């Protein structure tokens, strides 16, 4: 990786995110939804793939936005752009159908996984279902 040239950012600003923002999003997904990234990497403008570890080690601009991609831990995971996934999750939280929107987001990231069963394993969902069931008498 040439530290003089920064082609780690996409020409599409919606695909760029700083490493600090990506770390925060990764931690929030893991704690709130029990969803983790298996790996993360940069797709450069010239088409190269740079592993996140290499980027962190050699990046002279750690606060600069990068075109960060990854795969969510799961069977048959698809590559997703981290910035666009974060935008989609935020939009889902503010939308009229957050559960359905989250299902769609995760289904795109994990096309070979039963996302409905995965969502039901989220602790907060289990508590909400248990509370709702307990109120039925």
**pLDDT tens, position by position, for the chain (137 residues)?**
444 456 889 999 999 999 999 999 999 999 888 899 999 999 998 889 999 999 888 887 778 899 999 999 988 999 999 999 999 999 999 999 999 999 999 999 999 999 998 888 888 888 888 888 898 96
Using CA atoms, how far apart are residues 76 and 87, in angstroms rounded to an integer? 23
69 part of a folded domain: yes
8 part of a folded domain: no
41 Cβ contact partners less than 8 Å away, ≥ 6 residues apart: 49, 50, 51, 52, 55, 68, 69, 70
| pLDDT on residue 124 | 81
| pLDDT on residue 58 | 83
2 part of a folded domain: no
Q: Sheet of 68-72: strands edge to edge?
A: 49-51, 37-43, 68-72, 79-81
Tally: H helices and E strands in the chain: 6, 4
Please count the structural domains in the chain.
Answer: 1
53 part of a folded domain: yes
**By residue range, what is the domain housing residue 19?**
13-134
6 part of a folded domain: no
| pLDDT on residue 85 | 97
122 part of a folded domain: yes
4 part of a folded domain: no
7 part of a folded domain: no
Residue 120, phi then psi, degrees to nearest 5: -65, -20
């Amino acid at each position: 990786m040439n530290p003089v040239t920064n082609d780690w950012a996409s020409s599409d600003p919606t695909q760029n995110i700083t490493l600090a923002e990506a770390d925060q999003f990764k931690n929030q997904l893991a704690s709130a939804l029990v969803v983790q990234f298996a790996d993360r990497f940069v797709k450069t403008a010239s088409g190269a793939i740079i592993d996140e570890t290499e980027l962190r080690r050699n990046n002279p601009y750690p606060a600069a936005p990068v075109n960060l991609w990854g795969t969510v831990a799961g069977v048959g995971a698809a590559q997703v752009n981290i910035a666009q996934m974060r935008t989609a999750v935020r939009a889902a939280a503010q939308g009229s159908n957050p559960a359905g929107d989250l299902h769609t987001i995760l289904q795109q990231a994990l096309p070979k996984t039963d996302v409905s069963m995965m969502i039901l394993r989220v602790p907060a969902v289990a508590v909400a279902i248990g509370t709702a069931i307990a109120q039925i008498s």
